[in-house]
Amino acid sequence: MLKRIPQSLHRLQRPQRIDERILGIAALLVGALAISYAAPVAQNSNNNQSAFPATVCPAKLGDGTTTAFLPKYRTSVRHVVKKSVSFYKSLSALENINSSALLVDSNPGTTFALNNSGGGIGTAICEAGNADQWFLGGSGGLTSKAQLDIVNSGLSPALVDITGYSSKQALPVISVSIPANSDRTVFVDALVPGDDSVALHVVTRAGRVTSFLFDQRKKGLHSLGSDLVNSQLSPSTKVVIPTVLQSSSGKVSSTFRVLVPGNLDANIKLTMNSGDGAFTPVGFDGRTIAHGQVVDIPLADLTSTTPMSVVVESDQPVVASVLTAFTGADFAWATPVSQLSQLTMNFTGLSPKFVFTGTDINVGVKWKNSNGKSMSAQISGSDIAFWNPGTGGIRTITFTADPKKPVYAGTIIRNGSGGQLAYLPLSAGAVLEKSTLPIVDVHALSR
């Protein structure tokens, strides 16, 4: 009886060992499963990517030529036509634009278009698709041939709403559909008929749309010039127009155009900065502007030996611009710009004059001259500063400004005789966009 006791104990210990093994295997499985759940999430939680969107240049408008100044040689581009979505490499930093708009592939540089039509020139920043654009320029009068070019660079149909403003009121909204990968032109005199004072608000409801306003004027067979009117920011209580050309001889006339799109009248103040000092024109210190109407006010008796900048301060959000006109020759629309930060552009073959405005101007410039030599400069000043790279033109140029010290900048481009004029805002055509990549999660496999 005593010999059987160890055998019975052995039989009792065997199930206990089996239970321990089962518990150990279960613990390993639970640990492995916990690691498989946690590891992919921890490794991919910050998986982001950044890129610049593609930008669009306007089609050839008017009776002349349009050229895109690309940031560099061999930039990927394609024309916005229904039967083609293939990009090709540009053969130079200049690309001629035919009847179709031009799509420039994503890159950190800024492209602009130069139009030469009707005895005048005009420039416009090539922009990425913008859902909300304001244009304060053009005319619906008898002498006007102004047209709005609406470009849908996407691969699906687009729809935009256009609200026109006249000197009396806001007009009913007009909806326009644009087929995929194409553009459509609408004449301004069909949107705001018979009125010389015009503003347009273009809102994209669907699609990837960028719009451009081309202003050309004729009197009979005589051309009065042309210009591309750059779109501007949303209405704001502070608007800065960095470049307005004025002549001490009085051969240049200027007209201030303003719109208060809200439901309340605005009290505005204008400050004009020039190399001769800063001043407020008579009648522009606390002037009341009626809402919902486009108001044109001549800037009379302005004489200056230098270009000027215009700062508009208002108690209600406004949009504004300044029209510069050479009598019977050419005209140009000066439009507001956003704050300058870092910007790279190509001006191959041009010798523009740069104007900077701000309380404390401190801008670094690096450029290549016509011979390809790298050079640099520092522009500083208060209220307004001017810079010209000299004769012979420049190639690529990069501006760098301190974001803590707001500076606004633009260029004045003139032909050899000086009779043709264009303003180009120094603003980026596209900003860096960030997106989050899809995260692979093992949880999806367990469901």
pLDDT tens for 21-40 read 666 666 666 665 555 555 54
Same domain assignment for residues 71 and 30: no
Residue 436 within any structural domain of the chain = no
Same domain assignment for residues 8 and 78: no
Residue 366 within any structural domain of the chain = yes
**Taking CA 232 as the corner, what is the angle to CA 228 and CA 233, rounded to the nearest 5 degrees?**
170
| Contact between 295 and 258 (Cβ < 8 Å) | yes
Same domain assignment for residues 157 and 26: no
94-97 and 65-69: which strand pairing? antiparallel
Q: Quote the number of domains for the chain.
A: 2
Residue carrying structure tokens 């090539």: 126
pLDDT at 30: 60
pLDDT at 122: 95
pLDDT at 198: 96
Range of the domain at 24: 4-48
Q: Which three-class secondary structure state does DSSP give residue 111?
A: coil
Q: How far apart are CA 410 and CA 201, in angstroms?
A: 23
- How far is CA 434 from its chain centroid? 17
| Contact between 135 and 229 (Cβ < 8 Å) | yes
Q: How many CB atoms lie within 10 A of CB 248?
A: 12
Q: How many CB atoms lie within 10 A of CB 56?
A: 30
Residue 325 within any structural domain of the chain = yes
Same domain assignment for residues 78 and 167: yes
Same domain assignment for residues 19 and 116: no
Same domain assignment for residues 18 and 118: no
Residue 266 within any structural domain of the chain = yes
Residue 438 within any structural domain of the chain = no
Residue 25 within any structural domain of the chain = yes
Residue 220 within any structural domain of the chain = yes
Q: 137: closest CA among 225, 66, 209, 74?
A: 225
Residue 155 within any structural domain of the chain = yes
Same domain assignment for residues 114 and 10: no
pLDDT at 1: 42
Q: 427: closest CA among 351, 365, 333, 342?
A: 342
Same domain assignment for residues 81 and 14: no
Q: How far apart are CA 31 and CA 34, in angstroms?
A: 5
Q: Where in 63-181 does DSSP place strands (E)?
A: 65-69, 76-79, 88-89, 94-97, 102-104, 112-117, 120-125, 132-135, 147-152, 158-165, 174-178
Same domain assignment for residues 203 and 297: yes
Question: Which regions in the chain score pLDDT beneath 50?
Answer: 1-6, 8-12, 40-45, 442, 445, 447
Q: 113: closest CA among 131, 128, 94?
A: 94
**Taking CA 287 as the corner, what is the angle to CA 282 and CA 289, rounded to the nearest 5 degrees?**
135
pLDDT at 37: 52
Same domain assignment for residues 18 and 166: no
Same domain assignment for residues 95 and 33: no
Same domain assignment for residues 42 and 61: no
pLDDT at 9: 39
